[in-house]
Amino acid sequence: MLARGAHHRVSPGKTGAHRLIFHIDMDAFFASVEVMCRPKLKGKPVIVSGKPATRSVVAAASYAAREYGIRSGMSTVEAFRRCPHVIAVSGSPGQYIYVSLELLRIYKEHSTIVEPYSIDEAFVDMTGTECTWENCEDVAREIKAKIRKRFGPNLTASIGIGPNKLIAKMCGGMNKPDGITVIRPGKFGGVFNGLAVSRMWGIGAKTEIALNLMGVATIGELANFPVAMLRRRFGITGEVLHLMACGQDDTPVTPYFEGMPVKSMGHEHTLPEDTWDIMEAEKVLLRLCDQVARRMRKKQYLGNVISTRLRFADFDSISRQRKIKYYTDEERTLYKVARGLLHQYWRPGQAIRLVGVNCTGLIKVREWHQVDLFMQREEDAYRKLLSAIDAIRDKFGEHAITRARLITHDTRLWTNNRRMAEPRFLRMDLGEGSSRAGMRGRPQDGPRPSLMAGWHDASGDIDNVPLSPGLSSSPFDMLRHQDAEDRVPPEY
């Protein structure tokens, strides 16, 4: 077993030709956690979504549901059309966060260089540890065994191993679920050259079409295509596409204790019903701007590029942005610009399905910045008002205070209960050597009945554990908090 702290590396996030990178991707993560909490759902088609009667989409689908063609992002109505007996459960974000953090704790036992890529994915840089190309598959099996011991057989992971993040990521999706794929240095072309360009990480549908029109259908053809022509068509991205098709990627694994730069902050909302009423869209936009501005103040960021996103009833989407001359974190400025974009690109003949706002060009708030002396008094008064509003919402919730214009508007937009739930399944004897046996006065030996049997309500029978008030929702910040709890400081 590899002990924590024994695999410290001198230069974290190092790039080079001799790296050894793991990409660990949980299989159907949300759905698997729900099945783990409800053993009777094992083997059945399960989706995690909103209420079937609402305009919700599938957040995750079990592999049994995927056999019917159900995929993430599909509307719930379409999912039920393809599989009328599919079981829809509402999501439990607190449980997902809890399980994700416990998984990251396992990864940190093998390397200090862990980058949480999403709630169910992580890159682990094994370069310089006891893991080598000769024993990397054994280490991957050890990680999978630890996950099984901690959470039981219903939660599985697929692990891709490669000399860089690109190859490791692409390997991770090759043998799902519960697989291990290894591509050693120099072997990328032999495995991927014959595959369609859509199989390469980062190439979407529009880029695939553009490449196909140029006569490029496979990754191998892209690798051999003239770089000058790619640059002429895609700009600097064309050179990146060529390097990726050759299996080259020098992107370092960013350790959680270094964090990732925040590039944007935004919110989107799908309307309960399509609307032709621009006043209704304005209300949604105002509330979203309020939410984005509050996040920016909380994270201490200012931005100067504001964008509005609209999705129409035919699912056609547009996004337009405007750069302002100064940096801001106030909703009145965000709303003024976003509302102007809304009116400019509004299509009167088409109903709107989704409204979104985003702020980029972010910089950290400095301790001092120049202000207009004639505006300072007004600004100071308004900042005091914002500070008071933020304090009220921190204490009583997002919907505790709102603008008069929005007082009758849908309060679900404000829902943001930042609570982490310890699932009830952690009190069950799952796998071998469960450390939970004997808790709450129960005997340590002998079988215990499943507390989750017959439970089918995602909002009930969960032990809610409030997150620390000062804890960020960023996975990097959560991991740093986890280190503090474990009394294991990050090693450099």
Q: What is the pLDDT of residues 304-330, one digit of tens each?
A: 999 999 988 887 888 899 998 888 888
What pLDDT is attached to residue 382?
64
DSSP state of 480: H
Gap between the Cα atoms of 52 and 75, Å rounded: 9
What pLDDT is attached to residue 308?
93
Structure tokens at 18: 């001799």
What residue segments make up the domains of the chain, in order of their start? Answer: 29-92, 264-414
Tell me whether the CATH fold assigned to 29-92 matches the one assigned to 264-414.
no
DSSP state of 289: H
What pLDDT is attached to residue 136?
94
CATH number at 29-92: 3.40.1170.60
The residue among 252, 259, 183, 186 whose CA lies nearest residue 15 is 252
The residue among 183, 143, 181, 177 whose CA lies nearest residue 164 is 183
Q: Is the dihedral of CA 71, 76, 79, 85 positive or negative?
A: positive
What pLDDT is attached to residue 222?
93
| Segment holding 421, helix H or strand E | strand 419-422
What pLDDT is attached to residue 162?
94
**Amino acid letter, 106:** I
| Options 121, 330, 331, 398, the catalytic residue | 121
Question: Is position 121 annotated as part of the catalytic site?
Answer: yes
406 within 8 A of 287, measured Cβ to Cβ: yes
What contacts 448, CB < 8 A, 6 or more positions away? 428, 429, 437, 442
- The β-bridge partners of 424 are none
Residues of the chain with pLDDT under 70: 1-17, 51-54, 259-261, 366-384, 389-390, 392-492
What is the β-pairing status of strands 301-312 and 317-328? Answer: antiparallel
| Segment holding 66, helix H or strand E | helix 63-66
The residue among 384, 318, 377, 385 whose CA lies nearest residue 350 is 318
What pLDDT is attached to residue 477?
65
User: Hunting for tokens 């036992």 — which residue is that?
Assistant: 109
DSSP state of 27: T
In terms of pTM, does the model score above 0.85? no
Structure tokens at 443: 């005997």
SS3 content of the chain, % helix, strand, coil (to 5): 40, 20, 45
Phi, psi of 373 (to 5 degrees): -60, -30
Q: Is the dihedral of CA 203, 205, 206, 209 positive or negative?
A: positive
CATH number at 264-414: 3.30.1490.100
Gap between the Cα atoms of 73 and 79, Å rounded: 10
